[in-house]
Amino acid sequence: MIMKPSHKAIFLDRDGVINQEVDYLSNPDDLKLIDGVIPALKIFKKLGYKLVVITNQSGIARGILTEVDLSNIHIRLKEILKIDSIDLDGIYFCPHHPDINLSDGVKKYLMDCTCRKPNNGMLLQAQQDLNIDFSSSFLVGDSLRDIQSGNLCGIQGFGVKTGKGCPGLTDSVGIHLNDLLDVAIYIQNNFS
Ligand SMILES: [Mg+2]
Ligand SMILES: [Zn+2]
């Protein structure tokens, strides 16, 4: 049996970390990258990390956008990154919402799932698909539940002050920095 090498990854929340936070982004034209994201992703790639987006998209369960709309947004995101020769290694999303009685909700997405952060189902799926070593990986988010999701897998988390700003983050849970570029520089200086 051949042992495949394990890869290290940067798990990235999307809204408020990569693109500017708008309430339930549903139109690709509203996708705007946060300053410093391109150089940050280039640093991660240079250091040999896989780039994996992990995003809660309950707007789908709420009937605000469809899976097709979300796919179009991700096509646009990949096009924008392609200009700088940056490829994402995976995009995982949770379309669910736990409130089965949510008004105007889309029935098939209303469930108490294991993928919605702070659960870690998306991380476990990515680990399996991409052969990722959690212990050498990091996670970046702008909400406490992002960081908590990573902590369930023993992943060191970083909260950023862009987007929702990661309120409530304490030192025992994660490291609070300004933005994704600061996280990239921090990892470059301290973990490589
Ligand atoms: Mg976010
Ligand atoms: Zn889910």
Distance 5 CA to ligand 1 centre (A): 30
Q: Cβ atoms within 10 A of the Cβ of 150, count?
A: 28
Give the closest ligand to the alpha carbon of residue 122.
Answer: 2
pTM: 0.96
Give the closest ligand to the alpha carbon of residue 120.
Answer: 2
Distance 55 CA to ligand 2 centre (A): 10
5: which 2 tokens? 């090498």
Of 184, 187, 145, the closest CA to residue 163 belongs to 145
Sheet holding 175-177, edge to edge: 90-94, 50-56, 9-12, 138-141, 156-160, 175-177
Q: Which fold has domain 1-36+48-137+176-192?
A: Rossmann fold (3.40.50)
Distance 3 CA to ligand 2 centre (A): 31
Determine the pLDDT at residue 3.
63
Q: Which residues contact 164 (CB under 8 A, 6 or more apart)?
A: 16, 21, 142, 143
Determine the pLDDT at residue 4.
67
Determine the pLDDT at residue 192.
75
Distance 44 CA to ligand 1 centre (A): 19
Q: Which residues contact 114 (CB under 8 A, 6 or more apart)?
A: 120, 121
Of 114, 90, 97, 27, the closest CA to residue 63 belongs to 97
pLDDT in 10s for each residue of the chain, 192 residues: 666 669 999 999 999 999 999 999 999 999 999 999 999 999 999 999 999 999 999 999 999 999 999 999 999 999 999 999 999 999 999 999 999 999 999 999 999 999 999 999 999 999 999 999 999 999 999 999 999 999 999 999 999 999 999 999 999 999 999 999 999 999 999 997
- DSSP-derived letter for residue 114 is S
Q: Where are the domains of the chain?
A: 1-36+48-137+176-192
Distance 58 CA to ligand 2 centre (A): 8
Distance 127 CA to ligand 2 centre (A): 17
Give the closest ligand to the alpha carbon of residue 20.
Answer: 1
SS3 160: strand
Rounded to an integer, what distance in angstroms lies between the CA atom of residue 65 and that of residue 165?
A: 24
Distance 136 CA to ligand 1 centre (A): 22
Q: Which residues of 19-57 are buried (b: 16+ CB within 10 A; e: fewer)?
A: beeeeebbebeebeebebbbebbebbbeeebbbbbbbbb
